[in-house]
Amino acid sequence: MKNFVKDTFIYIIDYIRTTDIFLILMSVGASILSFTLMFSLYPGQISSVRTIYVQIISSIIGIICAIFISNIDYHQITKMWKQIGISAAIFTLLTLTPLGTLRGGDGAGSADRSWVQLGFTNVQPSEFLKAAFIVTLSYHCFKVSDHINEPKTFMRLLGHALIPIAIIFLQKDFGTMIIFICIAACILFVAGINWKIISVVIAMGVVALILFLTNTLPDYLLKRLYVINHLEETKRGLGMQQYTGRITMASGKILGKGFNSDDILTKTPELYNDMIFAHIGQVLGFVGCVSVLLWLFLFCLRLLQNGKNAPDNLGYFICVGIFAIMFFQSMVNIGMVLCLTPVIGVTLPFISSGGSSVVATYILLGLALSVHNHTHKSTLF
């Protein structure tokens, strides 16, 4: 027993010494902020304490997963790309079966089938598909890096990227689909795709976007796009969430009302989820909002730094993919609160409510830590 305790203690000390403790502390700190924000909304908007318990339990599970994954060499993880990719794709496709559950659908809701009902809880498989997509596309780019600009090779990479994007499109979860496009664009860009090819893809993307906006864009998204430029006009209808969200955020002024204030506004729908940044502004004020933005900047900077320090491009691609999720997902979420982007159900990593999102984000943290822990270069911070 003494040897077990001693070995465990030595392992913990060695792990702390070799891992990226900066990323871990930043992630855990964001989770603690998340718990505190949700407690401040109970019972005003969060009617069941189960929502808070799910967030706490998901974070604990996520931290365990992150530590476990960080101890596995990312080269070994990517060697299982087929198993990881196929499993995640099949799990996500279950949303299109009777096991899938519908969200929204009331004219203003998104009506996307992005959840799988497991009986005791609901899971959002697309969150885990993000991690799988980063692993598979990064490994694919790494294996073909010597001839990545050959037309046949690039078309295969493009096909690879379009598979999960098509699955998410079938779910009608267009917010998540945008994040997948950003992941693919960032990884392919740093992989060394020729500017001529990039120009052609951008041109094709613009044409596809125009066709989508004019022929395929769902009615609810058209309404939400209209809200962005007509917020005052729609404040009693479709624009109510963003209108009250901005009021809620601004009500915190410079230093905020505090978590225990009796004046916390709770009329904004999804204040603990999609609109969490508005609640941050309410309880922590402008200083709190800037602090969250600074946290995001340092977290993303650290991811890119770890990627640049990786011993090969595979680790670099993985870190860039994780950066894409953290950066673009945060920007879209904050943009929804500021009414710069339509409400499309994108969460703020680590902070917004959501069990699947939290666990999946910690899995991404584990991948980033794996790259760091199996890198033998010196690093700053």
What's the pLDDT score for residue 2?
A: 66
Q: How far apart are the C-alpha atoms of 165 and 161, rounded to whole Å?
A: 7
| Number of Cβ atoms within 10 Å of the Cβ of 25 | 10
Q: How far apart are the C-alpha atoms of 128 and 109, rounded to whole Å?
A: 23
Element (H, E) at 114: strand 112-117
Domain annotation covers residue 11: no
Q: What is the pLDDT along the chain (381 residues), one digit of tens a residue?
A: 667 777 777 877 888 888 999 999 999 999 999 999 999 999 889 888 999 999 999 999 999 999 999 999 999 999 999 999 999 999 999 998 888 887 644 334 456 778 888 877 889 999 999 999 999 999 999 999 989 999 899 999 999 999 999 999 988 888 899 999 999 999 999 999 888 888 888 888 888 877 777 777 778 788 888 888 888 889 888 899 999 999 999 999 999 999 998 899 989 999 999 999 999 999 999 999 999 999 999 999 999 999 999 999 999 999 999 999 999 999 999 999 999 988 888 999 999 998 999 999 999 999 999 999 988 544 433
- Structure token pair of residue 161: 């990227």
Q: Supply the range of the domain harboring residue 96.
A: 20-373
Is-contact 141 316, C-beta < 8 A?
Answer: no
What's the pLDDT score for residue 106?
A: 39
- Structure token pair of residue 277: 């940044």
Q: How many domains does the chain have?
A: 1
Q: How far apart are the C-alpha atoms of 79 and 71, rounded to whole Å?
A: 15
Domain annotation covers residue 84: yes
Domain annotation covers residue 6: no
Residue 145 CB partners (closer than 8 Å, separation 6+):
191, 192, 313
| Number of Cβ atoms within 10 Å of the Cβ of 268 | 24
Domain annotation covers residue 170: yes
What's the pLDDT score for residue 188?
A: 94
- Structure token pair of residue 26: 């930043």
Domain annotation covers residue 321: yes
Is-contact 219 342, C-beta < 8 A?
Answer: no
What's the pLDDT score for residue 48?
A: 85
Query: DSSP characters for 115-178?
Result: EEE-SS-EE-HHHHHHHHHHHHHHHHHHHTGGGTTSHHHHHHHHHHHHHHHHHHHHHT-HHHHH
The structure's pTM equals: 0.92
Domain annotation covers residue 13: no
Is-contact 307 315, C-beta < 8 A?
Answer: yes
Domain annotation covers residue 365: yes
Q: How far apart are the C-alpha atoms of 100 and 76, rounded to whole Å?
A: 32
| Number of Cβ atoms within 10 Å of the Cβ of 285 | 21
Q: How far apart are the C-alpha atoms of 187 and 145, rounded to whole Å?
A: 12
Domain annotation covers residue 122: yes
What's the pLDDT score for residue 376?
A: 57
